[in-house]
Amino acid sequence: MVTYFIGGALGTFAATQLWYAYQWNDVCIMGITVSSIALALHLINRKKIQQRPTVVQ
Number of DSSP helices (H) and strands (E) in the chain, helices first: 2, 0
Q: Does any domain span residue 38?
A: yes
The yes-or-no verdict on residue 37 having pLDDT over 80 is yes
Residue 39's pLDDT is what? 94
Q: Does any domain span residue 18?
A: yes
Q: Does any domain span residue 10?
A: yes
Q: Does any domain span residue 37?
A: yes
Domain span at 29: 2-51
Number of domains the chain contains: 1
Q: Does any domain span residue 56?
A: no
Q: Does any domain span residue 28?
A: yes
Task: Measure the CA–CA gap between 33 and 37, rounded to whole angstroms.
Answer: 6
Q: Does any domain span residue 44?
A: yes
| pLDDT digits 0-9 by tens, 40-53 | 999 988 877 777 77
Task: From residue 42, give the alpha-carbon distance in Å to each of 21, 27, 48.
Answer: 31, 23, 10
